[in-house]
Amino acid sequence: MLINNKSIAIIGGGPAGLTLARLLQLKNAEVKVYERDFNEHARVQGSPLDMHEDSGLAALRKAGLLEEFKKTFRPGADKTLIMDKQAKILFSDHETKPDEDFGAEHFRPEIDRGPLRKMLLESLQPETVVWDSHFISMESQNEGWLIHFKNGTSSYADLVIAADGARSRIRSYLTEIQPIYSGITMLEGIVSKEYAPNINTLINGGKIMAFGNSQNILMGQKGNGDLGFYASFKADENWAINSGLDFSDSKAIFQWFKTEYSDWNEIWHELFKNATTPFIPRPIYAMPLDQSWKTKPNITLMGDAAHVMPPFAGEGANMAMLDALELSEHLTDYHYKTLEEAISEYEIKMHKRAGKAIKESLENGERMHSDIALSTMLEFFNGHRLS
């Protein structure tokens, strides 16, 4: 096996990095995950993830974790309401969608990021994850890399795999290609269900997508009951800076919402008026569809580090976990004669499917922010049973 007696460093302990570590350890590989968080409890994990049958779930199945996932996912969290700006429900699958339908093409079970991370961490060998390891730089040494971290430590690896997200600092060691702004910005907030009782009753543990005036409100309920929500709209790339808004000032954000979403029903006010601050502006980026780079034998990229994409097709985490699955198979396939050959084949396949997913996400983003978004999305949901 090509990675026999090779030390592998995965930079980043998100779903992709941890999944890859699990899959490689099942093949007896020597692997460490270097994660910038101080420990597994250092950061509140973000919005829930929906797992797709041929990507995220396929990776978990290969990792031997599907049964554990079934104990941890949130039945019913993928149920959806499509609403207009007046909060009128125009589509609902709450009464028709099964809570559990594993193996079905369009079943997309949801899981909170925290429980997913915990499940993956517990599947790894002790001390696989090296916490408080904020990547700073690395330099060529022998046939691999000497990696330097912010805490003053350094570590050598024969192979470095970047799973350090959309702002990857390792990406520049392979390519200068940068993501491009999509034209859409999302303003993220969180509100306790007690302070948004009307919306909480409507969402009923699932998701809401509301459309009007080329604007969206997109939201889902977390495992603890909190409502995570986004105001999504077309804006200049530097909107967050040029707006002059203080995203820690709840009154200012509430006033902004009332002005910009002026003809939306007042039921939506309880989200913005009572949210926990700060709000987080998220300009949405995507990698070029045709990106590529010259393969190296001792470094590669996966997940958002390789192909950051808009969230409008739910493919980000799923593509990242499929990266983990495919990369693990290429690195442990006796068919390849060299690591460079194995990595090259992985990257070719990854670029092709990621480009397709990015294109789909960008097209969905345009549909969702058009002046006919509501009718388009209703036609889509009624014609294709997706979560």
Binding residues for FAD: 50, 113, 304
Helix (H) or strand (E) holding 329: helix 316-331
Q: 42 near 96, Cβ under 8 Å?
A: no
How many beta carbons lie within 10 A of that of residue 343, not counting itself? 23
Tell me the binding residues for NADPH: 43
How many beta carbons lie within 10 A of that of residue 125, not counting itself? 10
Do the bridges between strand 80-84 and strand 207-212 make them parallel or antiparallel, or are there none, so unpaired? parallel
Token pair of 228 as six digits: 């995570």
- Least Cα distance to 49 among 18, 77, 20 occurs for 77
Token pair of 60 as six digits: 């978990």
In the chain, count of helices (H) and strands (E)?
A: 12, 17
CA angle centred on 141, ends 136 and 145, rounded to 5°: 45
How many beta carbons lie within 10 A of that of residue 375, not counting itself? 12
Residue 316 amino acid letter: G
Tell me the binding residues: 43, 50, 113, 304
